[in-house]
Amino acid sequence: MRQAIHTILDIFYPPFRKLMPLQTFRYAACGGINTVIGLLVYFIGYRYVFEKEIFDFGFFAFKPHVAALFLSFVVSFCLGFLLNKFIVFTSSTLRGRIQLFRYGFSFVVNLIINYLLLKLLVEVIHWPAMLSQVITTIIIVTISYLSQKHFSFSTKK
Residues 82 and 101 in one domain: no
Assess contact for 74 and 37: CB atoms under 8 A.
Answer: no
What Cα–Cα distance (Å) separates residue 14 from each residue in 2, 19, 25, 142?
A: 19, 10, 10, 22
Residues 42 and 73 in one domain: yes
| Domain final position from 63, 90, 117 | 90
Report the number of distinct structural domains present in the chain: 2
Look up the domain containing 117 and give its range.
Answer: 93-157
Residues 107 and 143 in one domain: yes
Is the pTM for the entire model greater than 0.85?
Answer: no
Closest C-alpha to 78, from 128, 27, 38, 51: 38
Q: What is the pLDDT of residue 157?
A: 64
User: Could you say which of 45, 65, 90 is where a domain stops?
Assistant: 90
Evaluate whether 70 touches 41 at the Cβ level (below 8 Å).
Answer: no
pLDDT > 90? residue 71: no
84 and 33 in one domain?
Answer: yes
Task: Indicate whether 33 pLDDT > 70.
Answer: yes
Residue of higher predicted confidence among 6 and 65? 6
pLDDT band at 79 (very low <50, low <70, confident <90, very high): very high
Instruction: Quickly state the pLDDT bin for 15 (edges 50, 70, 90).
Output: very high
Q: Does residue 76 carry a pLDDT above 70?
A: yes
Averaged pLDDT score across all residues of the chain: 88
